Amino acid sequence: MTPQRFSRTKLALLISLAFASVSSHAATDDKPADEAAPVATVVVSAKSGDYLGNHTASAVAPTQASLSATEPQSIITRDFIELSVTPTTEYSRIVNVAPSVSGDSANGPGLSETKTTLRGFSDDQYNITFDGIPWGDTNNPAHHSTSFFPGSTIGGAIVERGPGNADNLGYATFGGSINLFSKKPLKDEKFSVFGSAGTWRTALAGASYESGRLAGFGNGTVQLNYQHLKSDGYLTLNAIKSDNYLMKVRRPVGDATVLTLFMSANRIKYVQPDNNKGPTLAQVALYGRNYSLNNDPTSFNYAGYNHTAKDTDFSYLRAETNWGTGWTTDNQLYTYAYDNETISSTDPTGATAPGTKIGPAGNKDIPGIDKRNKYRVYGDIFRLNKRLDAGTFRTGLWYEYSDTDRHQYDLDLTLGGIRDPRETKPAPVQNPSVLFDQQSNIRNVQPFAQFEWSVTPDLTVTPGLKLVRIRRSVDADVNQTTRLPQHSSVDYRSTLPFLTANQQLSSTMAVYAQYAKGFQIPDLKSFYIADPSKNSSAPQKSVNYQLGVVGQSEAVTWDVDVYKIDFTNKYVSNGLGGTDAAYINVGGATYKGIEAQATWMVGHGFALYANGSKNKATTNDTGKTISGSPNMTAAIGLLYNDGPWSGSLIGKRTGEVRQADFDASKPAAYDTYKTAAYTNTDLSFAYRFTKPGMGISLLKLQLNVFNLFNHQDVTSISPAKNAAFDQYTFQAPRSFQVSVKADF
């Protein structure tokens, strides 16, 4: 057993034993696990949706905002996920329906990692949380959409377009947050099996178990879920296979505490190049839009040279306690890990000729890399709340520590992956095949506090403050880029105030306003220089100004908001070399726009849905559009639910995108790297059989068709030094999945 696997197993065992030890002293009573300790949290949830009988706009809305919202948000329920989103999905496909969100998978729905944008902010500029715990990479706070939580494990999502309150946590409150939630336990026992089959030999199978409230377990609940997915994918030879295991146990302890233990593990294997940015136009002309890999061992694109295995796990132990007289606490002790082991050729575009130094003179061997990105994160989030006559005071502390091991070695793939001792940088190193071998860590402490002041029964004003204290350290014998030893650390400090207000105009309408500061931790690449102590220690910051109105009735849910975000302290290289190289803060950008979403219950089971956003993100120095920032998004849909039938038809349009930040002296290049707006339209039908026999209580058959109108427009361009080797990604063509789910 490897040390990494031993540590994971040991940690899981210790958490389980701790949970069992506390539970063994619990007083068994008749309070259910979800009611025993009514701890006030800052999570906004939608009204419980129910496609089986609740014919209200709030129940069927794909996205909506709460009347108590203090910033723009889109709440997405489990009901919508099960009906309208592919069973092979992960979170990016779920949240893509929301206004100002965009992103697409080139390999097919849920079959490759997708980097979403939020109001034009890139994936590393906003947070993603799971049950309130922020997670992401440790070199920069980016995310891997297929690596942790498949769609079958997600109970709902809330897209918060803004820094949020003081206890909205993460390393990039800069652009907002995508908050994912596990499934809520059911009151009654249920066992389910589910499966899907579809285009590109895609197959999914799984099973889940809900214990319901267990009288012999203090009315606690147990949830189990397993899912297996495999597919050849749309891109040539880009196969994927994954397995996910999940357990969630929730139990009252005594009269005032509820403990929750959550554990999940995911194993995924890809066949794909490390540079997975799509084919060149020349490759498209020869092989088609889906060209990626082939079966030729003399090619950089040989499938046998390009593969990745990722192991992840995510666990937490949560204790929610009601101490009486208005005092409550909520503590989450957590850990998660990510291990990416990749073997890949170095250039799938054809720009580089074959040849390695390890082979004989004049050889045409294929050069490659052995890449690792492996980290373990430990953390604790403590929240203390006090309910007063004037409102609710909330305070707490987020602590987190991470250890990261990253390396990249040169290989001769033709010779079976033998180390290739070539010198790619002038600096002398002991082993010239080592591009970098780096260890790093982050130590983070963030105290926060806020007061939800009930000025009147209808007006709530909430001021708050969060202090950011982060130390990032690197301990590398061979550092990335410089290939020199690096043993240093940098401290980052920031103070983030916010002020929000929510005014209830009536039982069906409310308005809100927000002023809030956000930040983003500097990327690890700021250490890829000779002397990181010369870097600026100020993180990138944002100041958000937002105003919105929300309306809800049985027939209609709707909301509209406007926003302006000033982005300052843009972190860039000073362009110098040697010991003078440094990362400094310059200029910034302005993001502004308007967003709206609405659902209308027409009647007879039909509902209409629409959302839209007009977004503008420009640099302050040149006025050019920020790279990768769509200028608009829009969605329109028809929903149906009546008796055993349900269905949805939803089209999502992503606006024009500039693909690079070019200055005013290069107008031609600026116009060249532009992708036009594109649309995906998804169709779903489902039919439910009640008690069809064989012990089945409910049987659901479902058909999903993705990209119904078979568009294959360009979604992204990655510029190269030579335009002939620019890489293009396209929409995956029309695909379908047939699914069945049986509840026992």
Q: For residue 5, give the H/E element and its range.
A: helix 3-24
Of 511, 601, 463, which Cα lies nearest the Cα of 54?
A: 601
Let me know: does 283 contact 303? Beta carbons within 8 Å.
no
Let me know: does 460 contact 432? Beta carbons within 8 Å.
no
What CATH number has the domain bearing residue 100? 2.40.170.20
Let me know: does 510 contact 504? Beta carbons within 8 Å.
yes
Let me know: does 104 contact 92? Beta carbons within 8 Å.
no
Six-digit token string for 85: 């989103």
In a domain, 238, yes or no: yes
| CB environment 495-506: b (16+ within 10 A), e (fewer) | ebebebbbbbee
For residues 697 and 689, give the distance between their C-alpha atoms in angstroms, rounded to a whole number.
Answer: 8
For the chain, how big is the Rg over CA atoms in Å? 26
Instruction: Please identify which residue in the block is written with the tokens 């706070």.
Output: 141
> Strand 190-198 vs strand 202-210: parallel, antiparallel, or unpaired?
antiparallel
For residues 255 and 733, give the distance between their C-alpha atoms in angstroms, rounded to a whole number.
Answer: 55
Q: For residue 287, give the H/E element and its range.
A: helix 281-287
Helix (H, G, I), strand (E, B) or coil at 123: helix
Of 354, 259, 242, which Cα lies nearest the Cα of 299?
A: 354
Let me know: does 69 contact 502? Beta carbons within 8 Å.
yes
pLDDT of residue 666: 47
Six-digit token string for 248: 């969630």
For residues 126 and 628, give the distance between their C-alpha atoms in angstroms, rounded to a whole number.
Answer: 15
For residues 34 and 196, give the distance between their C-alpha atoms in angstroms, rounded to a whole number.
Answer: 32
Six-digit token string for 586: 């310059």
Span 576-605, pLDDT tens digits: 777 778 877 777 889 999 999 999 999 999
Write the DSSP string, 26-45: PPP-S--TTTSS----S---
pLDDT of residue 542: 92
Helix (H, G, I), strand (E, B) or coil at 601: strand
In a domain, 379, yes or no: no
For residues 556 and 598, give the distance between their C-alpha atoms in angstroms, rounded to a whole number.
Answer: 7
For residues 391 and 463, give the distance between their C-alpha atoms in angstroms, rounded to a whole number.
Answer: 12
Distance from the Cα of residue 616 to its chain's centroid? 23
In a domain, 388, yes or no: no
Partners of 563 in the β-ladder: 546, 593
In a domain, 392, yes or no: no
In a domain, 387, yes or no: no
| CB environment 245-282: b (16+ within 10 A), e (fewer) | ebbbbbbbbbebbbbbbbbbbbbbebbbbbbbbbbbee
For residues 244 and 227, give the distance between their C-alpha atoms in angstroms, rounded to a whole number.
Answer: 5
Cα angle 254-258-259, degrees, rounded to a multiple of 5:
110
In the chain, what is the straight-line distance between the N-terminal and C-terminal CA atoms, in Å?
Answer: 39
- Write the DSSP symbol of residue 366: P
Let me know: does 396 contact 381? Beta carbons within 8 Å.
yes
For residues 401 and 380, give the distance between their C-alpha atoms in angstroms, rounded to a whole number.
Answer: 9
Six-digit token string for 73: 């948000």
In a domain, 375, yes or no: no
Number of domains in the chain: 1
Could you list the residue range(s) of the whole structural domain that residue 267 is in?
A: 3-361+400-743
pLDDT less than 50: residues of the chain = 1-31, 36-53, 424-428, 662-667
In a domain, 235, yes or no: yes
Let me know: does 345 contact 300? Beta carbons within 8 Å.
yes
Helix (H, G, I), strand (E, B) or coil at 567: strand
Span 37-64, pLDDT tens digits: 444 333 433 333 333 346 789 999 999 9
In a domain, 481, yes or no: yes
Q: How many residues does the chain have?
A: 744
